[in-house]
């Protein structure tokens, strides 16, 4: 199944989803596609003007361009996702979209889709980390 991860650039979540047999939908693939196909080979130039305009599908023109540009990357993936894993309260070193408003909107878009979704709090201790991995494993295995 296609599983969207939030934060979309979390390598740990990406790896867990792949390890348990699903297709992770995250920032890496989206940015890689732009590097490969649009010759934007100088990250962080991640989006084109067309992308930002395309972001209007998810947020109105009065929304700052940086939010629309981000949503243009994550929005289509959320549309395509069949499930999602969200790590809440994660520090930005774990992965983030850089902008809190964009992050709120990403979570909202996932909820609006009504797909199976697991919310896991960011673990602060080793025990919590083990528990978080077990919960994610259980969720992913249950997706069938």
Partner 1 sequence: MTIKIAQLSCGTEYSSVQHEIEKAASAVGAKTVYPDVSHADVKAALDRFGFAPRSAQLKLMIARAVSLADGRYDADAVFITTCFRCAEAALVRNELRRFIQDNTRLPVVTYSFTERLKAAQLLTRMEALVTIVTRKEILARERQSGITVGLDSGSSTTKAVVMRDNEIVGKDWTPSGDVVQSAQAVLESALRQAGVEMSQVEAIGTTGYGRFTLGRHYGAKLVQEELTVNSKGAVWLAGRQRGEATILDIGGMDNKAITVRDGVPDNFTMGGICAGASGRFLEMTSKRLKIEITELGKLADAGNWRNAKMNSYCSVFGIQDLVTTLGEGKSFEDVAAAACHSVAEQVYEQQLQEIDVRRPIIQVGGTSLISGLVTAVGEVLGEKPIVPRDSQYIGAVGGAILSSGFL
Contacts with partner 1, residue ranges (CB under 8 A): 42-49, 51-53, 62-70, 73, 92-93, 96, 98-101
Q: Which is nearer to partner 1, 6 or 51 (CB)?
A: 51
Q: How do 23-25 and 2-6 pair as beta strands? A: parallel
Q: Residue 6 corresponds to which tokens in the numbers above?
A: 């939030």
For 94, counting Cβ atoms within 10 Å of its Cβ (0-12 exposed, 13-18 middle, 19+ buried), the class is middle
Q: Which is nearer to partner 1, 37 or 93 (CB)?
A: 93
Q: Which is nearer to partner 1, 43 or 144 (CB)?
A: 43
Nearest distance, CB of residue 70 and partner 1, angstroms? 5
Nearest distance, CB of residue 65 and partner 1, angstroms? 4
User: Residue 4 carries which DSSP code?
Assistant: E
Nearest distance, CB of residue 38 and partner 1, angstroms? 11
Closest CA to 95 of 25, 2, 6: 6
């Amino acid at each position: 199944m296609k599983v969207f991860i939030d934060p979309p650039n979390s390598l740990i979540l990406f790896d867990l989803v792949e390890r348990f047999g699903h297709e992770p939908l995250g920032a890496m693939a989206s940015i890689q596609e732009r590097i490969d196909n649009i010759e934007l080979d100088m990250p962080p130039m991640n989006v084109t003007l067309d992308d930002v305009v395309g972001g209007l599908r998810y947020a109105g023109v009065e929304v700052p361009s940086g939010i629309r540009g981000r949503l243009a990357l994550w929005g289509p993936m959320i549309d395509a996702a069949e499930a999602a894993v969200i790590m809440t309260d994660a520090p930005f070193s774990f992965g983030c979209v850089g902008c809190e408003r964009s992050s709120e909107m990403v979570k909202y878009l996932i909820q609006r889709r009504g797909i199976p979704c697991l919310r896991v709090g960011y673990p602060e201790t080793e025990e919590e980390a083990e528990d978080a991995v077990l919960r994610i494993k259980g969720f992913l295995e249950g997706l069938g």
